[in-house]
Amino acid sequence: MRTYFSDLPKTALGASYWLFAVYLVLPLALMMAMSFKDANFIAFPIGNWTLDWYGKVLHDKQFLAASLYSIGIALATTICATIIGVWIALLVSAENIWGKSAIFALACLPAVVPGLINAISMRIFIRAVDIPTGTFAIILSHTVHAVPFVVIMVLTRLRSMPANLVDAARDLGADPFVAFLRVTIPYLMPALLGGMIFCVLTSIDDFVRTFFLGGYQPTLPMLIFAKVQGGMSPEINAMATIVLVVTTAVGLYAEYLTRRSRS
């Protein structure tokens, strides 16, 4: 008994953790469960199970178009953010650059600025320079938001890179560009992969920026939002479940790749 009581804080910590886990998972589980319900409204008990909602979603032209649109924006964002992020990380890690910490702080600012502020300022900006709302504007703002994550991940990896690696490549006959391609990039690969997956996921997930900057074509979150406005139905649950499963799979795969290339 004594050991039991002396372990009380530990037990309490463990119990509260599991409570939190339930709180995290329960809504997701409910959402997934409802997507299999053979009825038009969301409520317990489920009664009859069906896969019809999934069939409906997969044949829903709007859903497919919105998904493709979101993925397209995410890919464009990822490419831009990775190029800019790697470039800034290299700049900041270089030994003697004037205003190094200012560059770093500026690049990371969008990570802490609220999405709403970012969206409004971007909206004002594109009006001022006469860029129409729509795809390009969305990619612009998603990129600004994604860059800090690439910078931080790449910079962390760069700092763990032995300085001699690039020297060794140069010594063996590589000019600076070849050394970068053949040594620095492969070394950064785990961080690049992680950063890129992160870019894709934040871009697909984003609602606020897209809402302020989007045109007539809806991205996936906007489509789901519009549908929710029209009333909840298990079809929305099915859509959300598909998004959840796909993003989780991508995230886990990225984690696996990162771990493998590190070991």
- For other proteins, give the closer residue by CB, 7 or 167: 167
- For other proteins, give the closer residue by CB, 130 or 175: 175
- For other proteins, give the closer residue by CB, 28 or 172: 172
**CA distances in angstroms from 90 to 45, 153, 187, 188, 198, listed in the order given:** 57, 12, 13, 11, 20
- Using an 8 Å Cβ cutoff, are 206 and 142 in contact? yes
- For other proteins, give the closer residue by CB, 190 or 221: 190
- For other proteins, give the closer residue by CB, 122 or 192: 192
Nearest approach in angstroms of CB 175 to other proteins is 6
Q: What is the DSSP letter of 126?
A: H
Nearest approach in angstroms of CB 260 to other proteins is 12
Q: Which residue has the tokens 């890179």?
A: 161
Nearest approach in angstroms of CB 261 to other proteins is 8
Name the site residues for other proteins (rule: CB under 8 A): 162, 164-165, 167-175, 178, 182-183, 186-187, 189
- Using an 8 Å Cβ cutoff, are 192 and 254 in contact? no
DSSP calls for 57-86: HHT-HHHHHHHHHHHHHHHHHHHHHHHHHH
- For other proteins, give the closer residue by CB, 14 or 186: 186
Nearest approach in angstroms of CB 196 to other proteins is 18
Nearest approach in angstroms of CB 92 to other proteins is 22
Q: Collapsing DSSP states into helix, strand and coil, what is residue 50?
A: coil
- Using an 8 Å Cβ cutoff, are 66 and 242 in contact? no
Nearest approach in angstroms of CB 239 to other proteins is 40
Break the chain down into helix, strand, coil percent, rounded to 5.
80, 0, 20
